[in-house]
Amino acid sequence: MIIFDHVGKKYEGGFQAVQDVSFQIERGELLVLIGPSGSGKSTTMKMINRIIPHTTGTIRVNGKDNTTYNPSELRRNIGYVIQQVGLFPHYTIAQNIALVPQLKGWNEKAIEERVEELLLLVGLDSELHASRYPKELSGGQQQRVGIARALAAKPDILLMDEPFSALDPITREELQKELLTLHEQLDITIVFVTHDMDEALTMGDRIAIMKDGRLLQLDTPEKLLYEPAHGFVEQFMGKHRIIQNPELMPVTEIMAETVTTAHPNLSPERALSLIRQKKITDLLIVDRQSKLLGAVSAYDLIKKMDHIQTIEEIMTPIQPILTTKATSKDAIILMDEAPSGLIPIIDDTHQLIGLVTRGSLLTAMSSQWTEEVVS
């Protein structure tokens, strides 16, 4: 458990980076900190392991004031993953992962077993990757190693500072899913900083929205959307008057009409090339009459492409689906049920005419809210 009690951070010169922040992170929770640039989200997270010392208030980690810990020992017991990964270039992958257990005095056999266990856990083959160097790995593989290194000494807290923001969309979604699986398996407390609302909605048990060093609201994604406690929260989450107004906006007004589609007989290689080119994570499958048949996720495609001839073999039904008669409110309500964060829009003949994603929905809602404020 982590408790912030009236915590602040003031730098020399008078700049107040974080102001009077109080909240509690439950054991085993995945909490996302989000806000615009300069909001204090990364500073707040870094005060937990004292990379940045707080100047007022108290931070308790597992019931103990974090200033009473030896700083080095505190950091060795809290995993830390950053955007740039930070692997040591002249160390092998195994040596990078083994670093903290070595500092904590683990014996060689225990370290070797832990390295092998963690590489398997993050989806890397120990025989293929343990002896390689970071420059020989892709960005996604390096980030997997970064996560493995952070977990090496079996910490009960993991801090993640925009860990996936530099990755391509396919790799990013894959690692998001695998981190959620790890979180469930390990029952570890994770504090995750991001600037991306889609990522926050995907990852967070709760989301803390910050602005100008202040915590404006900390709640579940659903409560932030439907019960914002502050005007900025309402704007940032993209909440719109349609949640309250009986005159609802048609879903056709917020959908994207240009949708990347493919036919079911497409080869997996061409499908993956199309996905990468369009920077999407799910490919909608239609027949020759543009009738919606299903979807193929980039995640499934990468995992199974060596075992299939056409994408039809891994195509899955897609739910939920909305018709042109639906409203934007319908899309908001159903978005939580959309596992890939997208809802196809079809007409009466089942032809695909558009698509609503979590990101486009929030952008549209935020845009409408801004127009109302300006007017």
Residue 356: name the closest of 340, 372, 367, 371 by CA: 340
How far is CA 247 from each of CA 98, 141, 299, 306, rounded to the nearest angstrom?
60, 49, 39, 50
Q: Which domain holds residue 6?
A: 2-237
Kindly give the confidence (pLDDT) of every residue in the chain, 375 residues in length, as a single tens digit, with 9 standing for 90 and above. Answer: 899 999 999 998 889 999 999 999 999 999 999 998 899 999 999 999 999 999 999 999 999 999 999 988 888 889 888 877 778 899 999 999 998 888 888 999 999 999 998 898 888 888 889 999 999 998 888 888 988 888 888 888 999 998 888 777 777 888 888 888 888 888 899 999 998 887 888 889 999 999 999 999 999 887 887 788 888 888 777 643 344 442 356 788 778 878 999 999 999 999 999 988 888 889 999 999 999 999 999 989 998 988 999 999 999 999 899 998 888 878 888 888 887 889 999 998 999 999 988 777 766 655 444 444 433
Question: What contacts 92, CB < 8 A, 6 or more positions away?
Answer: 130, 131, 132, 133
Residues 42 and 179 in one domain: yes
Q: Out of 237, 260, 279, pick the residue that ends a domain.
A: 237
342-363 burial by CB neighbour count: b if 16+ within 10 A, else e? bbbbbeeeeebbbbbbbbbbbe
- Whether a cis peptide bond, with omega within 30° of 0, leads into 169 is no
Query: CATH no. for residue 87?
Result: 3.40.50.300
Domain count, the chain: 2
Residues 255 and 233 in one domain: no
**128 inside domain:** yes
Query: CATH no. for residue 347?
Result: 3.10.580.10
Give the H/E segment covering residue 71.
helix 71-76
Residues 41 and 175 in one domain: yes
Residues 101 and 46 in one domain: yes
How far apart are alpha carbons 254 and 257 in whole angstroms? 9
Residues 178 and 260 in one domain: no
